[in-house]
Amino acid sequence: MREVWIAGAGITRIGRRGESLSDLMAEAAHAALRDAGLERPDAIVAAAMNPEEFVGDGNFASHVATHMGLAETPAMRIETATSSGAAALYAGFAQVAAGLRHRVLVVGGEKMTHLDTPRVSELIGRSIDPYERSYGATMPALAGLVARALIARNGDAPREMAQIAVKNHANALRNPYAHFHRSVTIDEVMDSRMVADPLRLLHCCPISDGAAAVVLTAERAAVRITGIGQGTDTLALRHRDALTSFRASRAAARAAFAMADFGPERVDVAELHDAFAPFELISLEDLGLVPSGKAGRATLDGETALDGRLPVNPSGGLKARGHPLAATGLAQIVECVWQLTGRAEGRQVPARVALAQSIGGLATNNWVTLLEAS
Amino acid sequence: MRIETIQGSRCPACGLTVAPPAPFCPRDPVAMTSVELEGAGEIVSFTTLHSPPAGFRSPLHLALVALPGGARFICHGAETRGLRIGSRVAIEAVNDVYYFSHLGALDRARLFWRRTGRAGDRVHAIARSLAKRAWKGRERVSS
Ligand SMILES: [Zn+2]
């Protein structure tokens, strides 16, 4: 297997954007290509979770390649629900590692804010098991079941969940690309509107537009992908034993660390999939970044803050940077690259090894990527 | 009180039991066999949706219930007041939609006697008086 390096990274401002999805993806892609000093890649891997329904465009790899002026570059689209960006990174990684391609552009994006919240919730909900959906289960509903189980295990979980939102909003204040630039307090989070009891509005990520891209290459660059792992689980939540740990995250981490040949103790900074605040607590433990049962304490003690032992979601995370579905897995990688190369202006942490974790659906198709500065 | 029978399936390879029935085990590529499950169990988790999808009444109560035999089942409920993880609930079908209801002590006792297979008025009367005492005791403790 050849070594795979990241030669360029680009991202759009995340938030409510007036541009089309293909405009946003072109903006991120061109930024990544510029950063890599590359005019044309050998191939494109594009990710959008549901452009057919969000924006009404199909044949999307060709659509977006043509739009960005690369109609003659071979392109394909990858989809694993909300982790599609990370899955696209894997597809690009595999092409370069196998020696099939030399330089691959990976770009992901989503355009959502032009639709009303019930419609967005319905479209995201398509990734839920049909029987559970027939009972009105939405992503927040299933996350609400998970959050209640977490609280039953640990009575302090409501404060810990709130602190995740407080921390990630504070980090996003320092990220010019983030959706939110406002801080929140623990009380504001705990008093915010109930969405899916015990999950409140400020525990949940916003609806965002945006895109992110990286250029992968077989030539040595500043950051190397040292491990990528995928983990999966049943579509239906009711077919699983555990609610407070995700098999898909544990399996993805195991595979990524095995490929990288090192353990979680080497990770200096992490971008985790905090679509709902309890997921950051669960993920910290599933990935082995903190001992089982200690994620809440570590969070309240500031271990995962920007100046802590292991900064988590310096970008603001899905919670405050925003979550334009298929952009997210790549937005995490862009933040990791910037952290590893000293370009995370205003929120730079000392780091040589970074971890990104992306959750697809209700943890049915998850990815863990490990990056190392050269 | 009538106890609903819920159709499910069990995997001959790993023993996973699911409801409603599924042709294949989600974890093994093998055909599942049909089983009947008793419609009463324990709350695994529950939530109340305050902005449910179109076509559902707000607020929408949803629970994940562990049925005897291990299957977990998703259902609606009329309310979640007093409900806890571990609470015993009965499941009832109304127009093919399943609802949970919190089992009081009386219902739990009835369920117990039904399981032991000793039906009849005398047993029922004993159950009723036992359950009443248990219920009163519980009320005092919880109030
Ligand atoms: Zn099985």
Q: What is the 3-state secondary structure (H, E, C) of chain A?
A: CCCEEEEEEEECCCECCCCCHHHHHHHHHHHHHHHHCCCCCCEEEEECCCHHHHCCCCCHHHHHHHHCCCCCCCEEEECECECHHHHHHHHHHHHHHCCCCCEEEEEEEECCCCCCHHHHHHHHHCCCCHHHHHCCCCHHHHHHHHHHHHHHHCCCHHHHHHHHHHHHHHHHCCCCCCCCCCCCCHHHHHHCCEEECCEEHHHECCCCEEEEEEEEECCCCCEEEEEEEEEECCCCHHHCCCCCCCHHHHHHHHHHHHHHCCCHHHCCEEECCCCEHHHHHHHHHHCCCCCCCCHHHHHHCCCCCCCCCCCECCCCHHHHCCCCHHHHHHHHHHHHHHHHCCCCCCCCCCCCEEEEEECCCCCCEEEEEEEEEC
Q: Collapsing DSSP states into helix, strand and coil, what is residue B53?
A: coil
- Tell me the residues of B at the A interface, defined by beta carbons under 8 Å apart: 16, 18, 20, 26-27, 44-56, 60, 62, 64, 71-76, 80, 85, 97
User: How far is it, in rounded angstroms, from Cα B106 to Cα B124?
Assistant: 10
Question: What's the pLDDT at B133?
Answer: 38
Any CB–CB contact under 8 A between A194 and chain B? yes
Fold of A4-114+207-373: Peroxisomal Thiolase; Chain A, domain 1 (3.40.47)
State the pLDDT confidence band at B119, using cuts at 50, 70 and 90.
very low
Q: Collapsing DSSP states into helix, strand and coil, what is residue B63?
A: strand
Shortest CA gap A290–chain B (Å): 25
How confident is the model over A42-54, as pLDDT tens digits? 999 999 999 999 9
Name the residue ranges covered by the structural domains of chain B: 1-103, 104-143
**Residue B54 to residue A144, Cβ atoms within 8 A:** no
Apex A251 CA angle, A249 and A254, nearest 5: 105
DSSP state of B24: B
Contacts of B52 in chain A (CB under 8 A): 136, 138, 141
Number of residues that make up chain A: 374
State the pLDDT confidence band at B103, using cuts at 50, 70 and 90.
confident
Residues facing residue A216 across a β-bridge: A6, A104
3-class SS string, A276-337: EHHHHHHHHHHCCCCCCCCHHHHHHCCCCCCCCCCCECCCCHHHHCCCCHHHHHHHHHHHHH
Shortest CA gap B103–chain A (Å): 20
C-alpha distances (whole Å) from B53 to each of A66, A122, A145, A205 are 37, 7, 17, 18
Token readout for A23 is 């405009």
Nearest to A40 by CA among A12, A13, A75: A75
Name the residue ranges covered by the structural domains of chain A: 4-114+207-373
Of B20, B48, B62, the CB nearest to A131: B20
How confident is the model over A239-254, as pLDDT tens digits? 999 999 999 999 999 9
pLDDT string in tens for chain A (374-residue length): 999 999 999 999 999 999 999 999 999 999 999 999 999 999 999 999 999 999 999 999 999 999 999 999 999 999 999 999 999 999 999 999 999 999 999 999 999 999 999 999 999 999 999 999 999 999 999 999 999 999 999 999 999 999 999 999 999 999 999 999 999 999 999 999 999 999 999 999 999 999 999 999 999 999 999 999 999 999 999 999 999 999 999 999 999 999 999 999 999 999 999 999 999 999 999 999 999 999 999 999 999 999 999 999 999 999 999 999 999 999 999 999 999 999 999 999 999 999 999 999 999 999 999 999 99
Fold of B1-103: OB fold (Dihydrolipoamide Acetyltransferase, E2P) (2.40.50)
State the pLDDT confidence band at B115, using cuts at 50, 70 and 90.
low
Amino acid at site A25:
M
Token readout for A90 is 């894997």
Chain A residue at shortest CA distance from B27: A234
